[in-house]
Amino acid sequence: MKLFVTGGAGYIGSHCVLRLLQEGHEVVIFDNFNEGSHETVQTLSSLKLPGQLIDILEGDLLHPEDLQKAFSNHSFDAVFHFAALARVEESVQHPELYYRHNVVGTLNLLEAMRQFNIKRIIFSSTAAVYGEPQYTPVDERHPLNPVSPYGRSKQIAESIIQDFDRAYGIRSVCLRYFNVVGASSLRLIHAALGISETFSVFGTDYPTRDGTCVRDYISVEDLIDAHVKALDFLLQKDCSEIFNLGTERGCTVREVFAICEYVLGKKIPIAEKSRRPGDPAYLLASSQKAKDILHWQLQQSLEDAFNWAYAWEQKKTKC
Ligand SMILES: NC(=O)c1ccc[n+]([C@@H]2O[C@H](COP(=O)([O-])OP(=O)(O)OC[C@H]3O[C@@H](n4cnc5c(N)ncnc54)[C@H](O)[C@@H]3O)[C@@H](O)[C@H]2O)c1
């Protein structure tokens, strides 16, 4: 298969590219490199099999001509759409950036897909589309009530994707990630390694076993496994679906710190802060639908996940 990966130089996208190459696919990475890493894509290029295509395009979803150029030069079987801005707090301060990159960017991508007759998209969505949970574990039928511009930008992007399905037959799998280990945990690792100063814990008086929020942490490896299964789903079925990706196992923020400190053998400097508005005490995913339909199975423990994230960070530091 020939696959187009937006945001393929970012944290989750680059893990996906690695796995797609390992599965023998041809991959074109499209990234503006605002957050993505040139070193990471160079490493990925060096891992390809002889004769296997990996192309790296520096382009922006906000420039439709960049997409036109990419789609004129290749014919793609599917698109993995990771490219987005993804910081909740930043989205509150600069909502315009989030609506531009995450909504307009997705619209431009779909418009180019329609024009070039590309019929499959796997979209990185988020548990932030649910907002404060009315019940937990949260399943895909839970009402959508995002509390941040980030969550709203992803909800709107999902709606546009569904409209393009109805109008133009572009089939999609929207994957709503819960807390991805590695992405946020890289900040923990940086704190422990002294690269950043302290790690803030927001709220220590929640009605949980140690007072900190309980969240559902999923390893990037298990997450990527679901993407590969989502591609198989789209190749086999002529329909679109939405799946939560989480573990249904809750971990408090303090427990995560303890695991991270154990893996790194270092103390993490913590600053305890008051609760943030809109942060619920418990947020757990029901991923039963992904298990039933995608036949997705969790493979990694939280400790494995942190070990992986740490190894990844060390590799990056050496690049
Ligand atoms: N990290 C998490 O915990 C988490 C949780 C839920 C959902 N997600 C979603 O997963 C996806 C990947 O997240 P990540 O943690 O790897 O983030 P990341 O910032 O590491 O990767 C995003 C990539 O997209 C690129 N990009 C952004 N805007 C672009 C544009 N307009 N044109 C081209 N490239 C652009 C960036 O340069 C970056 O390389 C995002 O869509 C994010 O919303 C992440």
Structural domains of the chain, ranges and CATH numbers in brackets = 2-318 (3.40.50.720)
Nearest CA to ligand 1 atom 28: 84
Nearest CA, atom 35, ligand 1 = 83
Query: What are 243's two structure tokens?
Result: 């799946």
pLDDT above 90: percentage of residues in the chain: 72
Helix (H, G, I), strand (E, B) or coil at 92: helix
* Predicted confidence band of residue 314 (pLDDT cuts 50, 70, 90): low
pTM for the structure as a whole = 0.92
CA dihedral 230, 250, 284, 231 (to 10 degrees): 0
User: What confidence score (pLDDT) does residue 193 get?
Assistant: 65
150 is a catalytic site residue: yes
Taken as a whole, the chain contains a residue count of: 319
CA distance 60 to 58: 7
Per residue in 84-115, pLDDT tens? 999 988 999 999 999 999 999 999 999 999 99
Reported as a pLDDT band with limits 50, 70 and 90, residue 319 is very low
| Residue 82 near ligand 1, beta carbon < 6 Å | yes
Q: 312 CB less than 6 Å from ligand 1?
A: no
Q: What is the pLDDT of residues 280-307, one digit of tens each?
A: 888 999 999 999 999 999 998 877 877 7
Distance CA 231, CA 215 (A): 27
Nearest residue to 97 via CA among 110, 84, 83: 84
Distance (Å, rounded) from C-alpha 110 to C-alpha 113? Answer: 5
Ligand 1 atom nearest to CA at 37 = 39
Q: Using the predicted structure, report yes or no on whether residue 195 has a pLDDT greater than 70.
A: no
pLDDT in tens, 30-67: 999 999 999 999 999 998 888 888 999 999 999 999 99
User: Ligand 1 centre from 171 Cα, in Å?
Assistant: 21
**Does residue 316 have a pLDDT over 80?**
no
Question: Which H or E run contains 243?
Answer: strand 241-245
